[in-house]
Structure 1
Amino acid sequence: MPAPPQRDWQLRALLIALVILIAASFISLDLQWAALFGPDAAATTREFLQGFAPPELDPAFLRKCGVAALETLAMSALGTLLAVAGAMALALPASGRFGRAARNSTRALLNVLRSIPELVWASLLLVAAGLGPLGGTLALALHTNGVLGRLFADALENTPTEPEQALRTNGSSAMAAFLYATLPQTLPQMLSYTLYRWENNIRAAAILGVVGAGGVGQLLKYHLSLFQMPSAATVIIIMLLMVALVDAASYLLRRALTR
C-alpha cells in the first residue's frame, strides 16, 4: 500500500495543532460560565436593558442624530476613497510588475498598514490631528489601504497575462496594454472588494467615534457615559438602520457588477 502524500500529513499536523491550541485556550483562560448564566447576571442584564426603553424621539435630538449619521457616512466614504487611490498605487509594485525587491518591500508596507487596527490608527492620529472626523477618516484610509492594496495586488497577480502580452507584441506601450487588457479583467473584482470594505468602514467609523473621531459613535459614548439610556437607545437604532441600508445597497451593487 503506497504511503500517503506528504500534503496529507501536513494537513493532519495542522489540524492537530489547531485542536491543541483550542484546548489550551479553554484550559488557560478563567472562563466563569456559571457566573455568566447565573440568576444574578440575568437580573442585572434585564435591569440594564430595561433602561433603554423607550428610546428618545424628540425631533431636535433626532436631527442631531441624523447629522452625526451623515458625518459617519462621510468619514467612511472619504476614507474608502483615499484607500482605493493608495491601494491602486501600491498594488502595481506589490503584484511583481517592478521586480521582486519592489514586490517584497511593498507587500511588507501593506502588511504593516493592515495589521494595525483602525482604533490604534485613530488613537495615534487624533493626537496629531485633534479630535474630530479628520483623524478617523485618515485611520480608516490607512487600514483599508493595506487591506485593499493586498487584495488588488493578488487580483493583478492572478490575472492571465496573455491579452496584455498580445498588445505589447503588436506595439502597444506598457501603460496602454495594462489599461486595455489587464485592468478591465480585474476591475469588477476590485469594485466588489471596494464595496465590501466600504460596508466594513461604516461599522468601523461608528466605533471610531468612541475615541473622539466624531459621528454616531461619539454621540453614543457621550450618552452612555451620562447613563442617558433612552438617548443611547435611539443612537443604537440609527446605527443599526444605517448599517442595514448600506449593506443592502452594497449587496445590490455587487450583484449588478457580477452579472
Structure 2
Amino acid sequence: MSRRCEALLWLSLIGVALVSSFTYLGLDLGGLLRGDSPSQMADYATSFFPPEMSAGWLTQISWGAVETLAISAIGTLLAVLAGAALSLLAAGRMGIVAKALARLLLNALRSVPELVWAALMVLAAGLGPFAGTLAIALHTTGVLGRLFAEALENAPHEPAKALRDQGAGATAAFFYGTLPQVFPQWLAYSLYRWENNIRMAAVLGFVGAGGLGQMLYVTLSLFQQPKALSVILAMIVMVLVVDGLSAWWRARLG
C-alpha cells in the first residue's frame, strides 16, 4: 500500500509540474487548431513538394554532405586525441591535483553546447567548416574525456601491475596492460559520438559553420522550400547510412 501511495504521490507531483510549466510558459496548444492555423501549416508543408532534383543542385548537396562528414570526422578525431590525453589526468594517473583540474576542464567543455561553441568559434575563426570542426572538437573532448577516464578507472589493474613487477616501465605497462582492455570501449564511445556529431554538424550550419546545415539555412531564408526539402532528405539518408555502418562495425567489434 505504501508503494502505491508513493507512486500516486510522484504521479501527482509530475502532473502538478506539467500543469505549472504550461501555465508559466503560457503555451497555447489549442492555437494550433484554431482559425486558419491548420490550413497555413498545410500550405507551408505542401510548398516543400516536390523536392528539387536537378543535377546541379544534387551536385551541390553532395559536396555539402562531404563537407558535413569531414567536419564531423575531423572534429571527432581531434576530440578522441585530446580526450584520451586528458583522460589520463582525469583518471588520476598524474596525481590528485591534475585529476581535479582535468575533470574541471572536461566538465566545462561539455557543459557548453555545440551551438554556443560554434557561435564563439565563428567569431574567432570566421564563417566556414573550421568553426564547426572546432566547436565539435571542444564539446566532444569533454564528453569523450570523461567516458575514457571512467573506462580507465574501471579497468583491472592486475595486468599493468604484473608488467611493472617484471620490470616494465609505466608507459609500457599502460600500452600493454591497460590500453588493450579499454580500447574496445574507447572505440565504441568514439563511433557513437561520431554518429551524434554528424547530426550536430548538419545543425551547426545554421550559425555559419558550413555543410548541409548552412545550405538548409540559406534555402529556408530565401523561401526555396523544394531545395530545402532536398537538403533535409540528404541529411536523413546520410545519417541512416552512417548509423547503419557504425552499428555494424560496433557489432563486429563486440
Matched, 1:195 2:210: no
Displacement of 1:86 in angstroms is 0.2
- Secondary structure at the counterpart of residue 142 of structure 1: helix
Tell me the equivalent position of 2:45.
49
Matched, 1:62 2:66: no
Q: Deviations over 1:124-171 (max 9, x none)?
A: 111111111001101100000000000000110111111111111121
Residue 193 to residue 131, structure 1, CA distance change in 2 (3 Å): same
Displacement of 1:25 in angstroms is 2.7
Residue of structure 1 aligned with 2:175, choices 169, 173, 179: 179
Residue 211 to residue 17, structure 1, CA distance change in 2 (3 Å): farther
Q: Deviations over 1:36-87 (max 9, x none)?
A: 3446332121111100000001101100110111000000000000000000
Deviates more, 1:39-48 or 1:212-221: 39-48
Tell me the equivalent position of 1:75.
71
1-structure distance, mates of 2:170, 2:67:
41
Give me the CA root mean square deviation. Answer: 2.1
Tell me the equivalent position of 1:3.
none
Tell me the equivalent position of 2:157.
161
Residue 26 to residue 160, structure 1, CA distance change in 2 (3 Å): farther
Compute the TM-score of the two structures, normalised by the length of structure 2.
Answer: 0.92
* Count of paired positions: 248
Residue of structure 2 aligned with 1:205, choices 201, 207, 220: 201
1-structure distance, mates of 2:172, 2:90:
20
Deviates more, 1:31-40 or 1:213-222: 31-40
Amino acid at match of 1:88: A
2-structure distance, mates of 1:191, 1:93:
19
2-structure distance, mates of 1:243, 1:128:
29
Percent of aligned pairs with the same amino acid: 53
Deviates more, 1:96-105 or 1:214-223: 96-105
Matched, 1:227 2:220: no
Deviates more, 1:21-30 or 1:122-131: 21-30
2-structure distance, mates of 1:42, 1:75:
38
Residue ranges of structure 2 left out of the alignment (5+ in a row) = none
Tell me the equivalent position of 1:4.
none
Residue of structure 2 aligned with 1:252, choices 244, 248, 252: 248
Tell me the equivalent position of 1:5.
none
Tell me the equivalent position of 1:144.
140
1-structure distance, mates of 2:20, 2:161:
52
Q: Deviations over 1:167-200 (max 9, x none)?
A: 1112111111111111111100110000000001
Compute the TM-score of the two structures, normalised by the length of structure 1.
Answer: 0.90
Residue of structure 2 aligned with 1:121, choices 109, 114, 117: 117
Residue 18 to residue 141, structure 1, CA distance change in 2 (3 Å): farther
Displacement of 1:26 in angstroms is 3.8
- Secondary structure at the counterpart of residue 109 of structure 1: helix
1-structure distance, mates of 2:212, 2:73:
15
Residue 69 to residue 160, structure 1, CA distance change in 2 (3 Å): same
2-structure distance, mates of 1:53, 1:59:
17
Deviates more, 1:19-28 or 1:119-128: 19-28
Displacement of 1:243 in angstroms is 0.7
- Secondary structure at the counterpart of residue 249 of structure 2: helix
Displacement of 1:30 in angstroms is 1.4
Q: Deviations over 1:7-42 (max 9, x none)?
A: x9xx99xx6997465554344221212113446332
Residue ranges of structure 1 left out of the alignment (5+ in a row) = 1-7
- Secondary structure at the counterpart of residue 48 of structure 2: coil
